Amino acid sequence: MVSGSTRYSEYLQLDGLLNLQKPLSAQAGQAAHEEMLFIVVHQTHELWFKQVHHELDSVLSIFSKKGKVDERDMGSALMRMNRMVEIFRLLIGHLRVLQTMAPLDFLEFRDFLVPASGFQSVQFRLLELKLGVLTKEKMCPMSTYMSVLNSPESAQVNAQADNPSLHHWVCKWLERAPFLDSKGFDFWTEYRKAVRGRLEDDRVALEESLSFSEEVKKRQLLEWTKNEEHFEALFDEGKHEKLRREGDRSLSLRATQAALFIHLYRDQPLLQLPYQFLNQLVELDEAIQNWRSEHANMVHRMIGVKVGTGGSMGYPYLKSTLSRTRVFGDLCNLSTFLIPRTHLPKLPSDFARNLSFFVDALGH
């Protein structure tokens, strides 16, 4: 509690920090009131991106540990994932503040910004690489992007492109799941049986239904078939890998099985934190997605359909990237394959024991 000599303004380096806002309009003798907001919104974004890297690096180091993930680290991993989610939600709020700027007022300094563009944020690009949204393969068509970076920046980007992403490590972690290989319980066989039973029940009920007209029945059967196809791709490694190559799946089949198992038996003590972690991955994916979507809307409102300052295609471009930028979409799509608890294969008690605590100590 004692004896420090830390001063608030020195600790936070305020002398430096509060002197880094250099409006170009003022330098050109045409001071535009609104440029300050533009700068502050972008600088705070970059500070938060730094924080996101700080958290993401720590999650990566937990999940890339040689051999195993330490159970005692799961709590920290969850808290840090959650923090990244909250940060992206906060950043959405930043865009709302930026929207208090009228498009006409933006025009008063917009010309000075050419050809700078948020598109050039190195921290954001590195984030995409670390998460696995962006990969080395996808970077080829980005040569235009790379050309605007200076050499230390592009070195950083290239170096990161060689490192495995969070998506990679999560996939590995899921694939190692020991409960898939248990002797006492063959989850995959049992699950497949349960699915087939349920599909068959549905089909019979549908065909025998009196309350549907022939036309409605026909349509519903078509949908039933589509549903069955989803499952078939899940039961056939060849089909799954084909979908993966085409970009429709990203996790391996085994990782998908483990994720499904965790969802279906999440109440088992051992699975509760992994279940929370899978959810956090989806939450983060979605939060970043929402930020992108709001950002695209904001650009639309600010410049209409004009091209961006960096020569990018502005709003239409941003809108078009939205669908390509989910990295944990497979975890979201898992819902397609869930079956109701009543149809779920029951875990043998020996097997369930392995998913419990050493002593039954909590249930005191």
Largest CA distance in the chain: 84
Rounded least distance, CB 272 to its own copies, Å: 5
Torsion of CA 92, 141, 167, 318, to 10 degrees: 20
Helix axes 166-175, 122-131, angle to 10 degrees: 10
Task: Give the separation between CA 331 and CA 227, rounded to whole angstroms.
Answer: 18
Rounded least distance, CB 6 to its own copies, Å: 4
Looking at residue 72, the DSSP 8-state letter turns out to be G
Rounded least distance, CB 244 to its own copies, Å: 16
Q: Are 264 and 344 in contact (CB under 8 A)?
A: yes
Long-range pairs for 175-181: beta carbons < 8 A, 24 or more residues apart:
175/252, 175/254, 175/255, 175/258, 176/68, 177/258, 177/261, 177/262, 179/258, 179/261, 179/351, 179/354, 179/355, 180/254, 180/257, 180/258, 180/261
Rounded least distance, CB 48 to its own copies, Å: 7
* Closer to its own copies by Cβ: residue 167 or 263: 263
Handedness of CA 298, 304, 307, 313 (dihedral sign): positive
* Closer to its own copies by Cβ: residue 137 or 319: 319
Task: Give the separation between CA 162 and CA 135, rounded to whole angstroms.
Answer: 9
* Closer to its own copies by Cβ: residue 132 or 310: 310
Q: Are 59 and 137 in contact (CB under 8 A)?
A: no
Rounded least distance, CB 132 to its own copies, Å: 19
Rounded least distance, CB 139 to its own copies, Å: 18
Amino acid at 207: E
* Closer to its own copies by Cβ: residue 79 or 155: 79
Looking at residue 344, the DSSP 8-state letter turns out to be S
Task: Give the separation between CA 326 and CA 321, rounded to whole angstroms.
Answer: 10
Q: Are 223 and 230 in contact (CB under 8 A)?
A: no
Rounded least distance, CB 2 to its own copies, Å: 4
Rounded least distance, CB 135 to its own copies, Å: 23
* Closer to its own copies by Cβ: residue 103 or 236: 103
Helix axes 35-63, 103-113, angle to 10 degrees: 70
Rounded least distance, CB 238 to its own copies, Å: 20
* Closer to its own copies by Cβ: residue 137 or 252: 252
* Closer to its own copies by Cβ: residue 4 or 238: 4
* Closer to its own copies by Cβ: residue 30 or 135: 30
Torsion of CA 203, 205, 207, 210, to 10 degrees: -160
Task: Give the separation between CA 174 and CA 327, rounded to whole angstroms.
Answer: 16
* Closer to its own copies by Cβ: residue 46 or 241: 46
